[in-house]
Amino acid sequence: MTPTPYPPSTQALEFKGCLTAGASGTYYVDNQNLYYLNGLAMSGTVTSDFPVNVQLVLVTGTIAFAENSTTLARFTDLPMLPEQGYTITVQNVGNQDNNVTVDLRFG
């Protein structure tokens, strides 16, 4: 399978991990220190082998995106503004270890 190329102005980031039964993991997208993201939009997917809860929260506490009990969560065009970041939290809701992939695009 050949990956689809992103437009030249798009930055991409992917990370993978395994969550044990009932565990959660959080990734912080720190826009304050990543100035090249200012003014861009963040889109992406969270995929997993078994159902997870996914939540994207602004540093202000506002929930920007949430989806429960899914193996594929898609979010699009979340603005990356100066001095604003997001936490992406993935919670394994199953009884088994769960492989999770988070794919982010900024453009």
Q: Does the pLDDT value for residue 39 go beyond 80? A: no
Q: What is the mean pLDDT of the chain?
A: 85
Instruction: With 0.75 as the threshold, say if the pTM is over it.
Output: yes
Residue 41 bridge partners (DSSP):
79
Rounded to whole angstroms, the Cα distance separating 84 from 32 reads 6
Query: What is the predicted pLDDT for the residue at 95?
Result: 93
Q: CATH code for 12-106?
A: 2.60.120.380
